[in-house]
Amino acid sequence: MKTSSVIYYLCFVFLFAFSFKGVAQQTFGVKLNGGISKMSTSSDFTNVTQENYYRPSGNAGLFYNLQIDSTVLIGGEVLWVQIEGREHTVIPMEDMPNFIGEHWIHDFDRHISYIGIPVYLGFKIKKLIINLGFQTSFKVVSKTNHKGQYPQGGGEIIIVEDDRDWIGIANIVLGLRGGIIFNLTNRVGIEANYYSWNDNTGGQSKYFGVWQGQQITLGFRYSLNKK
C-alpha cells in the first residue's frame, strides 16, 4: 500500500466527515478491547507443512462518532493495536541422504505493534450500531521469537533459539474492518470488531509471499461527552 494513497484516503474521509460538523451530533471517548489475532504467510514450497495459530491480542485508544441523522453515522478512531501470531513449520530433509525421513522444525512467535486508524460508516438501530469501513495501520515495532530444532546425527537433536527484529512486513497496511456496538447506557457500550488485511511485501520470495492478518476483539467503550 503506497503512503500517498493512504494519505489521500484519510484526507478524503476526514474532509467528508467535517463537512457535517455544524449540523451533526458528535460523540467521543475511550475504548479497550481484548481478543485474538493470527498472522499467516503463504509459501511456494509444496513439501512444507505450515500451520498458523491464533494468539491473544488487543487494542486500545480513542473514538469519535459523527451522527449525520437518526440512523447513519461516520466513525473514526486512533488505536494502539497489538497483533500476535504463531507459526509452526515442518520441512523434510529430502536433499540430505543421511537424514531421509528427518525434519527441520521451526516455531515462530510474531509480535507486531501498530498505530491503527479505522474509519467507518455506521447504521444505528435503536441501541445497536453496525459499522463497516477500512483500517490503516502504521507499524511501530515488530519482533519474532524463533525456536528451531533439527537432528545432528546419532539421535542428537540440536535446538536453536533466537530473536529477530525483521519480519518482512510493510510499514503501512490497509484492510477491511467491521463491527457491532451495543450501547448499554448513554456513556457505556460494548463492541465486537473484526479486522483483516493482506500484505504482499514478500514479493517474489519463495517463503515470504503474501502475509494475511486477522484480529477479532471484544471490549468496552466509554463516551466522555454524553450525560
Tens digits of per-residue pLDDT, 131-175?
999 999 999 998 989 898 887 766 678 888 888 776 778 889 999
**Higher-pLDDT residue of 203, 119:** 119
Quick one: pLDDT band at residue 10, thresholds 50, 70, 90?
Answer: low
Query: Could you tell me which of 81, 89, 87 has the C-alpha nearest to residue 53?
Result: 87
C-alpha cell at 100: 531421509
| pLDDT attached to residue 102 | 73
Structure confidence by residue, pLDDT tens digits, 11-50 = 555 555 555 555 568 999 999 999 999 998 766 666 778 8
Please report the pLDDT score of residue 14 as a whole number: 55
Lowest mean pLDDT among 75-84, 145-154, 172-181: 145-154
What number of other Cβ atoms are within 10 A of residue 164's Cβ? 13
Residues in the chain: 227
State residue 81's pLDDT score: 97
Percent of the chain with pLDDT over 70: 77
What pTM was computed for the model?
Answer: 0.81
The CA angle 146-151-152, to the nearest 5 degrees, is: 110
pLDDT surpassing 80 at residue 99: no
Q: What are the domain boundaries of the chain?
A: 3-223
Topology of domain 3-223 in CATH is: Porin (2.40.160)
Average pLDDT, the chain: 83
Give the residue-averaged pLDDT of 124-132: 95
